[in-house]
Chain A
């Protein structure tokens, strides 16, 4: 890998690039899907190639799997041609914030290499969970999925950085569906689309798919005859995985500096968190602290260096309720006068140029204890868990989420089960209504492996640390208003 990147750097520098970085990535993945009692998908995929990003007034990027000398030279030439074309459409040249040259070798934490586990054992885990779900009368479809990704990445820049990083990502998911003549309901575990972590097979064991299969099967069936979630303004308690997506959509995306600078307005959208609001806007209540933490061990959005060679950092986005920071890069940071990039540039693979991505955007644990403590301190309200759908406007103000399941809370106790729960709101009002955040006892780094952004659209692994939390006087159930 090293020799190939040196060759690409030498050619690009020879042709006059102001700055160049090269990423060579090898990625191997395995995905196993089951449907009821059988394997519905078994796929393995391998990928190995190089991406070259060049600054020559404007940005140019090209990539190829052809790693011969001739192939690398062709790729570099195309990146140069593309950068020159970009410069003809700019009023001023792109400039970058400084970053020291790094030489490093890093590996993500992994106790049990998932590729060392037999395929039979993996399939057996999913089919065992399926048998338990299907044993519940009324379950009409039981699905399961395991995903394992091994990535080897080498980064080199014309500024002297040489960084090798190895990642292992693992994910697991089961889902029970129940359908009758009138309705269709589902329950997922650990969350919709599954949980993913920067970890090995140990995470599959930790989430205990088989041990949770009967409960989610029974809940899916019970939802068919559960009461409809009421409509009105009520206190809302969110489970950790739903709160993770709330953080993702209403804090993670609007703090992306490329959005705030209107660079993503054509596809991903704009942000209400414009630069003049930095350090001024009361984003949430005093107890709300949100960080972008790429250093959290085992969290899906962690790494040691981003895809432009900036070291991983922990940055406050919201401090004591005040909007206090952005997810930034070397070029966007320069635009608003930052002194250093926050290190948030990543690309899905060697095929694509890096863009600003969430790392682990997390709600710092509070003092409200466990979920049971928050419920016992709530006179009346609704507890919602496990995301079902999500939608937010182009500036990340108005949102609407629905969850798979909910429960009524009366006098500090969980009451009847509710189906089709949903809530909506406006981001700053919602976070200013947050008055209880769970402690570290139930804090989990939830992983979202499918965040889409960029043109062409790139998917990215992001993480969100969250414990359950309460939001006062939230709009509930308007999705089904007539």
Chain B
């Protein structure tokens, strides 16, 4: 029995068991089988192959709703879970504005690119070890020390409800992350893809090694305002703090930094942001937490805040159509833009360097946090490949510095954009973003390395 058939069996059993006990029921079956080989100091340090399957049941009874989740075993466990969920729902107070579950949409709306590669899904521990060996060999060739991960596996999700809705998605995933270190410098790279064949471990290792070698003996630079060149990973780990501000619920709760600014120019004209699940560089299922098809939504067009994403509840409150971005309900956060695509430009990183009189080049940003939600003031630190650019040349590595920048100001200070690529970072989920050249970045303190 494959994953889809197994999920259908569980959902059909649940629907049958719940008949007559509930007004509506929704069942979500999610599976996750993703292995991670970790290495450091040129040795494998951890290696794990966990297996995971969860079933979530949401019931609606007399205007009340609850959601219970469990690792699931035989059908009797599903029956017990449903009975517990129904019991729990009866303990709650009625929600005045509780919506019925959505009916099945036209199945064509679930169309998404194939995101499954059998080789990646069945990659073995020894297959990953061979990739790790290649990366360690590259480090040793350059007399560097390496740490990182090689990840491979698959995940699946199915949603069914008592209104005949059924949606299923599975995808494979592969990721390589590498940190090369020298005595006083380091370089980092991280990429992920649907297919492990799309990741070249030796090329990635060389890229990280080059950063570590080029940034050796870093100099201290004065704090202050500089132009910056941000690689796509750095862009992702800054911009991801903005995604929830496009959620309708963040506007209803008066928490969005874009409150009351719909239709206004909020960023520079070069900035266009969409949520596009079907983009070939994106990942994830083509439906939301209630099974609604994810729609392509233009969030920002040429700097103007155009649209929010809406789940069914916020759409009902605002009398607008839902966009298929709802989180599994009930959830106070409402919805989330999960498939971000920031339009790119044509300027390469080397062209950005060449046209810079004086700038700082950032491979990545580290430990970014929001300081002020209204001005979207963020703080963070540079890391793993920070360089001073002068008169069009990447001149030298520099010691790391802390920055405090308003994301709104950053997106109003764009000089140039690179081509949009699938980027991976540590703060936000992978998204499609370009490299950015920014005219003003406030570096407030120096670190000691």
Which residues of A line the B interface, CB within 8 A? 33, 35, 38-49, 51, 58-66, 75, 78-79, 81-91, 118-120, 123, 140-141, 143, 177, 179, 182-184, 261-267, 269, 272, 351-353, 355, 388-395, 397-398, 400, 402, 420, 422, 424, 426, 455-456, 475, 478-482
Alpha-carbon distance A406/B444, docked complex (angstroms): 21
Alpha-carbon distance A140/B404, docked complex (angstroms): 28
A269 CB contacts on chain B under 8 angstroms: 366
Q: Do A177 and B177 touch across chains, with their CB atoms under 8 A apart? A: no
- Answer yes or no: B222 CB below 8 A from chain A CBs: no
- Answer yes or no: B109 CB below 8 A from chain A CBs: no
- Answer yes or no: B16 CB below 8 A from chain A CBs: no
Alpha-carbon distance A262/B373, docked complex (angstroms): 34
Q: Do B49 and A82 touch across chains, with their CB atoms under 8 A apart? A: yes
A393 CB contacts on chain B under 8 angstroms: 366-367, 381, 383, 400, 402, 447, 449
Q: Do A62 and B444 touch across chains, with their CB atoms under 8 A apart? A: no
B151 CB contacts on chain A under 8 angstroms: 455-456
B279 CB contacts on chain A under 8 angstroms: none
B53 CB contacts on chain A under 8 angstroms: 65
| CB<8 Å pairs between A and B, sample of 11 | A42-B65, A44-B88, A66-B73, A75-B51, A85-B47, A89-B43, A140-B254, A184-B373, A391-B367, A395-B447, A481-B442
Least CB distance, B64 to chain A, in whole angstroms: 9
Write the B169-203 contact mask toward A (1 if CB under 8 angstroms, else 0): 00000000111010000101000000000000000
B393 CB contacts on chain A under 8 angstroms: none
Given contacts A81-B125, A140-B254, A480-B404, contact A394 B48 (CB under 8 A): no
Alpha-carbon distance A46/B54, docked complex (angstroms): 9
- Answer yes or no: B62 CB below 8 A from chain A CBs: no
B253 CB contacts on chain A under 8 angstroms: 35, 140-141, 177
Q: Do A264 and B40 touch across chains, with their CB atoms under 8 A apart? A: yes
* In the complex, chain B residues 226-277 whose Cβ is within 8 Å of any chain A Cβ: 253-255, 259
* Majority secondary structure, B binding face: strand
Q: Do A39 and B148 touch across chains, with their CB atoms under 8 A apart? A: no
- A49 closest partner in B (C-beta): B71
Given contacts A41-B332, A184-B255, A478-B445, contact A389 B366 (CB under 8 A): no
- B381 closest partner in A (C-beta): A393
- Answer yes or no: B149 CB below 8 A from chain A CBs: yes
Q: Do B40 and A45 touch across chains, with their CB atoms under 8 A apart? A: no
Q: Do A82 and B48 touch across chains, with their CB atoms under 8 A apart? A: yes
Given contacts A81-B124, A179-B259, contact A46 B47 (CB under 8 A): no
Q: Do A85 and B371 touch across chains, with their CB atoms under 8 A apart? A: no
B44 CB contacts on chain A under 8 angstroms: 58-59, 85-90
- A51 closest partner in B (C-beta): B50
- B190 closest partner in A (C-beta): A266
Least CB distance, A194 to chain B, in whole angstroms: 14
Least CB distance, B402 to chain A, in whole angstroms: 6
- Answer yes or no: B307 CB below 8 A from chain A CBs: no
* In the complex, chain B residues 200-228 whose Cβ is within 8 Å of any chain A Cβ: none
Alpha-carbon distance A336/B411, docked complex (angstroms): 48
Q: Do B444 and A479 touch across chains, with their CB atoms under 8 A apart? A: yes
- A420 closest partner in B (C-beta): B372
- Give the interface segment out of B6-14, B17-25, B126-134, B352-360: B126-134
Q: Do B47 and A60 touch across chains, with their CB atoms under 8 A apart? A: yes
Q: Do A62 and B71 touch across chains, with their CB atoms under 8 A apart? A: no
Q: Do B40 and A481 touch across chains, with their CB atoms under 8 A apart? A: no
Q: Do A262 and B41 touch across chains, with their CB atoms under 8 A apart? A: yes
One of A60, A83, A262 near B145 (C-beta < 8 A): A262
Least CB distance, A140 to chain B, in whole angstroms: 5
Given contacts A86-B44, A123-B93, A481-B404, contact A395 B449 (CB under 8 A): yes
Least CB distance, A310 to chain B, in whole angstroms: 18
Given contacts A123-B93, A397-B448, A455-B36, contact A59 B126 (CB under 8 A): no
